[in-house]
Amino acid sequence: MIRAVVIDDDKETIELFSELLTSNGIKVVGKGHNGQDAIFLFQKLKPDVLFLDIIMPIYDGIFALQKIRDTNPQANVIVIYDKLSINKEIELNRLKPSAVIREPIDVDDILRKTHKLCLPTGDSVDQMKKTMVTLAIKNTFLELGLEEFDKIVLMLQKDHNSTLEDCYDNPEILKQVLQDLLGDSYNDVLNSLKENIKSISSHKSTENFLEALNT
């Protein structure tokens, strides 16, 4: 779930905006009323995104964005405002907000920009699953002992010009190596591998990986 901090000097606006986010699956973990609140809550709570009103009478949004950019140039900060002076617009653009929402706000626009910033792309998700499965494979082989682990890695490299990282995309190679090396013990190792990736095995791509090893 996306975690957000909301900053606005108007308390009613904060409550309405927070309710809007919550009803659309975004968890509001902090609320503040000026630029100092924004800096403090961002550093303390480390949200996925900060919604920042620009026009505030005490320590405005530009002040907060400057301080946040100084410590975290990649922070997801969505700024919200109606109109700014030309000088303020130039100053704001220099600080490169992650996204801009102009009042009156459009709910669909807010959600679209928030999800684009905070949710991983398809490629990132695939890479994350691959990394997790590779780690599970490595842990399973290490449970067999360092000698067996080294044998598996060597066979992958020598016979198939592959690494452990290649096994997620090529389960047939992993299956062949394990069957050749382990024989009747293959199913026991497969069961151990299933246990090690149980937390992610509900995903279809992971199920397909295990099915390829099981057939």
What letter represents residue 165's amino acid? E
First to last CA, the chain: 36
Tokens 């599970």 -> residue: 136
Which domains are present in the chain? 2-118 (3.40.50.2300), 122-214 (1.10.1200.200)
**Distances from the Cα of 121 to the Cαs of 114, 115, 178, 180, in angstroms?**
13, 10, 33, 38
Per-residue pLDDT tens over the stretch 111-150: 999 998 987 665 566 766 777 788 888 888 888 888 988 9
pLDDT of residue 120: 66
- Bigger pLDDT: 166 vs 40: 40
Give the pLDDT band of residue 182 (cuts 50, 70, 90). Answer: confident
Per-residue pLDDT tens over the stretch 22-79: 998 899 999 999 999 999 999 999 999 999 999 998 899 999 999 999 999 999 999 9
pLDDT of residue 199: 59
Whole-model pTM: value is 0.60
Q: How many CA atoms lie within 13 A of 207 on its CB side?
A: 3
| 3-state SS string for 112-143 | HHHHHHHCCCHHHHHHHHHHHHHHHHHHHHHH
